[in-house]
Amino acid sequence: MKQQKIIKIGNSLGVILPVEYVKSHDFKAGQTVFVVSDKDSGVQISTKEQLTHSLTPEFKQWLDTVTTKHVHVIRELAKK
């Protein structure tokens, strides 16, 4: 565990990721990541590929079907 300070970045807050963490997760500068927060497990940072690999094949197939079938609804919800 490494202690990090929360810093102000514009109107947001951020944390610098330790180099060991970045290397062990194969993160690259400029890469898009997903941040999931859960009060039980804390914060998890993953790439889309890492998230996809953690899904069961059945759930991934269902998710792909639903998002393809309802893409217009998802786009409308994303605007709000």
Give 15-24's long-range contacts (Cβ < 8 A, gap of 24+).
17/45
Q: Global pTM?
A: 0.52
Residue 35 lies in a domain: yes
Coil vs helix vs strand at 46: strand
Residue 16 lies in a domain: yes
CB 46 within 8 Å of CB 34: yes
Domain that holds residue 59: 6-79
Residue 1 lies in a domain: no
- Quote the number of domains for the chain: 1
pLDDT tens track for 36-66? 887 887 888 888 777 766 677 788 788 889 9
